Structure 1
Amino acid sequence: MESKQKLLVIIGPTAVGKTKLSIELAKKYNGEIISGDSMQIYREMDIGTAKIKIEEMEGVPHHLIDIKDPDESFSVAEFQQLVRAKINEIALKGKLPIIVGGTGLYIQSVIYDYHFSEATADDTFRIELEARAKVIGNEALHKELTRLDPVSAAQIHPNNVRRVIRALEIFHCTGKMMSEYQKEQEPDLLYQTALIGLTMEREKLYERINLRVKLMMDEGLLDEVRRLYDRGLRDCQSIQAIGYKEVYEFFEGKVSLEDAVENLKQNSRRYAKRQLTWFRNKMDVQWFDMADVPNLSKKITEISQYVEGKLQVKSNTY
């Protein structure tokens, strides 16, 4: 039997410390990093998505960052295709592919053998739903999904209309909830995967999130969002991202700047909670607590031992 390609995956909630750890492990194992974040694909959206800066990369190649304009859409299926191709490309260079991110569904679609099959597609029905969403609104469409598929509805934000429609489409085509349909597929891991999850005590994580939001404002998040707003970008997938929709509400005069910042902090905390719930329920993760680390090197040693055992790799020997 042909051996599977080795793959390191680092997941965890926003602000937990994935970026710094990923750089250290990439340097240690001669790796290249693939972004597993559904919003860092967008150009001109740097501060609000906490996109890694060039100087922070320390020479480690990064992929799937800045590949779309903010007015373009992006699907899970497209992400799956691009990332699997990138994994092969990196492996052919004799390097270790490392996926880093917090968008659980996207990463899950890559590492497990899920098929976005024709059995769950109905273009006419999907177009009808897209038209209906514009008439009745996102919340009303989400309520329809809650009635038919409460499990999926609980995991999908009402403003993520594409995913709401996708879940309704699967139910329409199969008569099953999206979660049921996925369970029946019993997907296998496509790669020899070391799946690392970073976590920390909730209050500590929330403190870090609040601090990150303050730093984003200091770095010029307001100006970044203003440029998108002034270009007339409104009903785009990208603008539904946390950090953008809250500031948009300020520009539209719906809330004060102070309230917009508080909403951003609150939505980021809620998102982190949803991320942790998703990872724990959907993926077989080896968790590492990042809160009680006096210095990162001790934690890197612990994580490295797990990676080397799981992937049979050695430090800097490729």
Structure 2
Amino acid sequence: MMKEIILIVGPTGSGKTSLSLNLYGKLDSEIISADSMQIYKYMDIGTAKVSEKIREKIKHHMIDIVNPDDAFSVASFQKDTFKIIDNLIIKNKIPIVVGGTGLYINSLTYNLDFSNAKSDESIRNKLYYEYEENGKQFILNKLKKVDLDSYNTIEHNNIKRVIRAIEIYEITGVPYSKQNKDFRNENNNYNFKIYGLTDDRKLLYERINNRVDEMIKDGLFDEVKFLIDNYDNNSQSFKGIGYKEIIDYYNGIYSKNEAIEKLKQNSRKYAKRQLTWFRRDKRIKWFNLSEYKNNIAEISNKIYKEIKNGQI
């Protein structure tokens, strides 16, 4: 039985969703989101989810599965996603996984084992106390000293993951980034066909800025207001790009225009980190949108032909 999986990766705003929908029309499969923010209900505009209307016609998985104040781990993503993938393969369908969360993608394409994660509540509490007393930069500098790779790849506003990386180092004496011996051992249980979308940086950044403007028009400020009125404001999901900036506006830290500009800036920085992350994987076949004049359909046709001809 075939065990092929299509993965579509790349930075925010690069057209991954459009490509996945285009491929779906050719393959009659189902789509799995690999976006760590799209798992949350009611966080729609800021995470650029496909509309409910589209989801009624095209089956999407791993979207709207937990509340904004619920905990959800990459281990849970890995377990749930492989179950979905295996069910689709049984139906002789090629799963289409699309998303820009690097660790979520790696949890599928590499042999990452999350079953033996070590923890120590006393160490974790001490680190949170140091964070509260000394601020974010103090705890980031602490991570940088013991695990430069994690410092460079973990979102700096994701304090939970920053502290978790330090906790693991203090427990084991081994950096979090080196913990899993198989981190760069490829998962050979499936035939991954990995495609990346990118663009010339100036054009990508312009697209990101325009997308933020569209989010604002679509009601992002109202969406965030609903969330802070109904859910725990200390939830990890509230620290995601697209939400933390607007929350800071409601907390009086930024003006509305400052919050929007901060959101654009953070989105551009995130895109840069995503590209750095994905370019480590030499299996990815990249498509530069500028070279195809932003023609997603042409890229989709090329990928479809390669899949059908078994060229990749």
The answer, yes or no, to whether TM exceeds 0.5 is yes
- What are the equivalent positions in structure 2 for 1:1-318 lying under 5 Å apart? 5-57=3-55, 59-118=57-116, 120-124=117-121, 125-130=123-128, 132-182=130-180, 186-189=184-187, 190-231=189-230, 233-282=232-281, 284-294=283-293, 295-310=295-310
Please state how far the C-alpha of 1:203 moved relative to its aligned partner: 0.7
Please state how far the C-alpha of 1:75 moved relative to its aligned partner: 1.1
Please state how far the C-alpha of 1:131 moved relative to its aligned partner: 5.1
Q: Distance in 2 between matches of 1:271 and 1:145?
A: 19
Q: Distance in 2 between matches of 1:5 and 1:95?
A: 9
What letter is aligned with 2:192? T
Partner-residue secondary structure (3-state), 1:300: helix
Q: Distance in 1 between matches of 2:43 and 2:238?
A: 10
Please state how far the C-alpha of 1:210 moved relative to its aligned partner: 0.7
Please state how far the C-alpha of 1:62 moved relative to its aligned partner: 0.2
Asked whether the equivalents of residues 152 and 167 of structure 1 are also in contact (C-alpha less than 8 Å), the reply is: yes
Please state how far the C-alpha of 1:142 moved relative to its aligned partner: 2.0
Structure 2: which 5+ runs fail to align? none
Please state how far the C-alpha of 1:311 moved relative to its aligned partner: 7.6
Please state how far the C-alpha of 1:43 moved relative to its aligned partner: 0.6
Structure 1 residues 44 and 221: alpha-carbon distance in aligned structure 2, compared to 1, 3 A threshold? same
What letter is aligned with 1:296? I
Asked whether the equivalents of residues 156 and 164 of structure 1 are also in contact (C-alpha less than 8 Å), the reply is: yes
Q: Distance in 1 between matches of 2:157 and 2:258?
A: 20
What letter is aligned with 2:90? L
Q: Distance in 2 between matches of 1:58 and 1:16?
A: 24
Structure 1 residues 54 and 232: alpha-carbon distance in aligned structure 2, compared to 1, 3 A threshold? closer
Cα RMSD after superposing both structures: 2.1
Q: Which deviates the most, 200-209 or 299-308? A: 299-308
Asked whether the equivalents of residues 18 and 296 of structure 2 are also in contact (C-alpha less than 8 Å), the reply is: no
Please state how far the C-alpha of 1:157 moved relative to its aligned partner: 2.3
Please state how far the C-alpha of 1:282 moved relative to its aligned partner: 4.4
Asked whether the equivalents of residues 12 and 102 of structure 1 are also in contact (C-alpha less than 8 Å), the reply is: yes
Q: Which deviates the most, 156-165 or 241-250? A: 156-165
Q: Which deviates the most, 206-215 or 297-306? A: 297-306
Please state how far the C-alpha of 1:160 moved relative to its aligned partner: 1.0
Structure 1: which 5+ runs fail to align? 313-318
What letter is aligned with 1:162? K
Please state how far the C-alpha of 1:127 moved relative to its aligned partner: 4.8
Asked whether the equivalents of residues 198 and 289 of structure 2 are also in contact (C-alpha less than 8 Å), the reply is: yes
**Identity %, equivalent residues:** 43
Q: Distance in 2 between matches of 1:300 and 1:279?
A: 20
Q: Distance in 2 between matches of 1:60 and 1:207?
A: 29
Please state how far the C-alpha of 1:130 moved relative to its aligned partner: 4.3
- TM-score, normalised with respect to structure 1: 0.90
Please state how far the C-alpha of 1:310 moved relative to its aligned partner: 4.6
Q: Distance in 1 between matches of 2:52 and 2:230?
A: 26
Structure 1 residues 31 and 131: alpha-carbon distance in aligned structure 2, compared to 1, 3 A threshold? farther
Please state how far the C-alpha of 1:133 moved relative to its aligned partner: 3.8
Structure 1 residues 206 and 145: alpha-carbon distance in aligned structure 2, compared to 1, 3 A threshold? same
Q: Which deviates the most, 167-176 or 276-285? A: 167-176
Kindly tell me the number of residue pairs found equivalent between the two proteins: 309
